Amino acid sequence: MRSGGGVTVRRHDRRDRDCAVGAGPTAEREAGLKFIETPSPNFDDRSLPITMIVLHYTGMQDGASAIARLRDPEAKVSSHYLVEEDGTVLRMVAEDKRAWHAGKSHWRDVDDVNSASVGIEIVNPGHEFGYRPFPPEQIASVVALVAEIKDRHEITRGNIVGHSDIAPVRKRDPGELFPWHELARRRLALPRPTKNLMDPGWTEGGFCLALERFGYDVENRMAATMAFQRRFRPELVDGEVDAECRCILLALLLPKPMGDD
């Protein structure tokens, strides 16, 4: 952070009733997932349609500290949702508004990622304060939330990304411990390719060109490579371009059926 449905949660704002995500015109469609209304003042208007979901970890010592920061006007940072370790879901900014979660970032042809995305903060101390695995109940809520947002805005799997994907020089979250496979097996994110392809033998420069074609900002080659590894080869994040990385990236770039990106 720093810069299936049916999840019932408690409230932080002391109201005695749950709010369904998107209560109002879209309430019927979203009634499966409940959240705590915990508004942040840190938002403005979007200038782009929603085409992305960005996942973050909070990277602070505890959830309460993260929530306080996301609601602090001086911090100038926010997210649309926050998922606590016990699976509780907080809504902090309405989806039709531009939350301030991405910072300086880029993905594919988008430079104003805040305007084009829904941001989800996931409570975890992160690399600075004791990075640890994400609890199953937390991931269950993340999966349910991503599924509803993806369906609501018709977001492609290739545009469901981590903070490190869109800002590889600055960010490492949600990190190599995040279970992307749990989203991928539900068709909520791109899976790690399993095809046994021949190594294309790209030079480092060629690999970076391919990485840029896939969507990354490759101004810093090592940072972009490490972000790619965190996402698609998390067991070894060393910034080195090897045959396995080349094969994975080649598979990701192969043509896919329409709507399967």
Q: What letter does residue 176 receive in the DSSP assignment?
A: T
243-253 and 204-214 are packed helices; what angle lies between their axes, rounded to 10 degrees?
A: 30
Catalytic residue ranges:
121
Buried b (16+ CB within 10 A) or exposed e, 120-141: bbbbbbbeeeebeebeeebbbb
Helix (H, G, I), strand (E, B) or coil at 257: coil
Nearest to 91 by CA among 75, 78, 102, 72: 78
Sole residue written with tokens 């993806």: 150
**Alpha-carbon distance 165 to 134, whole Å?**
19
81 neighbors 146 (Cβ within 8 angstroms): no
**Alpha-carbon distance 16 to 104, whole Å?**
39
**Alpha-carbon distance 34 to 154, whole Å?**
21
Compute, in degrees rounded to 10, the torsion defined by CA atoms 99, 103, 107, 110.
70
